[in-house]
Amino acid sequence: MVFVLFLCSTALAAQTVAHTKGVVHTEAVDLGYETFGAQQTTGTAVPVIAVNGGPGLSHVYMMQNDVWQRIAKNRLVVFYDQRGTGVSKQMQAGASQSMDAQVADLEAVRQALGLAKIALVGDSYGGLLCMAYAAVHPEHVAKLVLSDSPGPSWKKIVHVLPEVFPDIEEQDQQEQKRLGPSTEAAARAGLRNHFRMIFYSQEKRDAYMSHMGDLGFEPAVSEAVAKATSDLDLTSRLTGFQFPTLVITGRYDMNVAPLTAWRLAHAIPGAKLVFFEQSGHLPSYEEPEKYVTVLEDFLNGR
């Protein structure tokens, strides 16, 4: 199970950038989105679409601090909830959860906002979705950022949580038995246990978890996406990526171990790899100052 993870930004940060919300209507799903900042009519500030992880989570977990509002001071930043999650739950009965369908959703958001070229920032599972989009629509990708992303295939991910946290894994198994393995309560307990294992700093882990609230986790969506993408393999497409690519990884990410990022960076021509030395799976939360600097430098071509 690969989770990646909102909460509220500070009031001050929210006041400093424009903030809008909207819905993109498609035949299969109504996609809720929100934007921070404004699209620049002059200059070279390429807009960002940030694609959250999960699968099965809303984008809410990425909004735990003011990182994205700070980035939005200089450019438009767009978030949307993937089909079946958050404010995108209004779906046609039996709608597909295939990667093709999710790529089509991302393209629908881009088209609706009139963004000719975008920088894609894929966090955790969102990185796999961004790679799939980039393979189909390279003409719209100005830059690509893969932040603690799985590799081009689930089968090639390096996941070492059981080896590093056998005690928490055992506790989770016991809790699953007590609650019932197929219940929503068990799924939500599993998510909390997962979060206990993905931080480098215990202090920051405790701070995050003490006020993370409802992350909008939809277990059925998570399972459907995992099943629909289990055999996906984009390895052969990576060599064709001609846009600048940045690969980010927390040095102590046990959910998607840094070897995955290392392999990704070496598979994509000219990709830059940056390690965050005091982070687990969420460097944007554990090292926010560095994250903003690294992302801004890359987006600005420095």
Measured distance CA(118)–CA(115) in Å, rounded: 7
- pLDDT, tens digit, for every residue of 37-74? 988 766 678 999 999 999 999 999 999 999 999 999 98
pLDDT at 41: 67
E strand or H helix at 78, and its extent?
strand 77-80
Contact between residue 170 and residue 145 where contact means Cβ atoms under 8 Å apart: no
Q: Which residues contact 4 (CB under 8 A, 6 or more apart)?
A: 52, 53, 54, 57, 61, 123, 124, 125, 126, 148, 255, 281, 282
Q: Which of 146, 120, 150 shows the shortest CA–CA distance to 54?
A: 150
Measured distance CA(6)–CA(207) in Å, rounded: 13
Mean pLDDT computed over 115-126: 97
Give residue for tokens 């966090």.
123
Give residue for tokens 């950022």.
145
pLDDT at 133: 98
Q: Evaluate if residue 12 carries a pLDDT over 60.
A: no
For the domain spanning 11-299, the CATH number is 3.40.50.1820
- pLDDT, tens digit, for every residue of 238-261? 999 999 999 999 999 999 999 999
Burial of 95 (0-12, 13-18, 19+ CB in 10 A): middle
pLDDT at 302: 75
**Residue 155: pLDDT band with limits 50, 70, 90:** confident
Q: Which of 190, 219, 228 shows the shortest CA–CA distance to 56?
A: 219
DSSP code for 265: H
- pLDDT, tens digit, for every residue of 199-219? 999 999 999 999 888 888 899
For the stretch 204-213, contacts whose Cβ atoms lie closer than 8 Å and that sit 24 or more positions apart, written own/partner, are 204/285, 204/286, 208/64, 208/282, 208/285, 211/7, 212/7, 212/61, 212/64, 213/6, 213/7, 213/60
